[in-house]
Structure 1
Amino acid sequence: MPAFLVNVIIENKPEIVDPEGNTILNDLILKDKKTSVKKIRSAKMLRFQIEAKDKALAEKTVMDLCNEFRIYNPLVSKVSVETLNA
């Protein structure tokens, strides 16, 4: 059975304040007045290595686990998934 790396990226929804991203922007980036960076959003990533029949099943299994164990709060977080062959 093929193995996949499934990256689950969890970040605050755009309308939710991101204090970590704001801190990085203000304290590290904006001190250099010449920068073109205007906004930073932080996120966390979980990397699952999973064996599955295909990419779609690997993603579904991982998302089912994330939802079952409440890995993220759907009220404030948005989730994206990237899947690679292991």
Structure 2
Amino acid sequence: MGNVLNKYLVHTAIVLKGVRDPEGETILKDLVSISGFGNVNKVISGKYLGFIVDAKDDAEAVSYVREVCEKARIFNPTIHRLLILGVENA
């Protein structure tokens, strides 16, 4: 029973790191600030991806998804960051 696999949904986001974010800047300038939300300093845009994977626990699911994203080149580590947003049973 030690090798029982469960299904996990790993929530991820891919965001730009350190470079200009034209989409985020546009959202801030043309939508957020103009709507009167002056306390918002920056909007960071990104891409959401959810992966449903088989794993023995949530830590293994996260590790597996990181490996998939890196080896399949789903993001460019030179300009992007991969964020793990959360894990839940699928």
Question: TM-score under structure 2 normalisation?
Answer: 0.84
1:1-86 alignment, distance < 5 Å: 1-13=5-17, 15-33=18-36, 35-81=38-84, 82-86=86-90
Cα distance, 1:18 vs structure 2: 0.6
CA distance in 2, matches of 1:23, 1:39: 10
Cα distance, 1:39 vs structure 2: 1.1
Listed as ranges, the gaps of 5+ residues in structure 2 are none
Cα distance, 1:34 vs structure 2: 5.3
Cα separation, partners in 2 of 1:40 and 1:34, compared to 1, 3 Å: closer
Cα distance, 1:3 vs structure 2: 1.2
* Letter of the 2:25 counterpart: N
Count residues in correspondence: 85
Listed as ranges, the gaps of 5+ residues in structure 1 are none
Question: TM-score under structure 1 normalisation?
Answer: 0.88
Secondary structure class of the residue paired with 2:34: coil
CA distance in 2, matches of 1:45, 1:34: 24
